[in-house]
Amino acid sequence: MAKGKVTINELICKGCELCVSVCPKHVLKLSETKINAAGYNPAEPVNDDCIACTACAKMCPDCAITVEKLD
């Protein structure tokens, strides 16, 4: 299976958890330690199990997620 890398733009993430809910590999969660300038806990990757399906990026209403497919 393909491997991927998820990058979250923490400055614009509103912590809505939509990305967390659609990830089939449970790669994302809301940060328990970070708070962005808008006062939200941004999403963050918690493991390297990403399969580059891009479900999280497609679901994000703020386009705060980039998914790279790794070789």
Collapsing DSSP to helix, strand or coil, 18 comes out as helix
Domains of the chain: 3-70 (3.30.70.20)
- Which residue type does 37 have? A
Per-residue model confidence (pLDDT) at position 71: 80
Per-residue pLDDT of the chain (71 residues; tens, 9 = 90+): 789 999 999 999 999 999 999 999 999 999 999 999 999 999 999 999 999 999 999 999 999 999 999 98
Could you tell me whether strands 3-8 and 65-70 are parallel, antiparallel, or unpaired per DSSP bridges?
Answer: antiparallel
Q: What is the pLDDT of residue 30?
A: 98
Contacts of 40 by beta carbon, 8 Å cutoff, 6+ apart: 13, 14, 15
Q: Is 68 left (phi over 0), alpha (psi -120 to 50) or beta?
A: beta
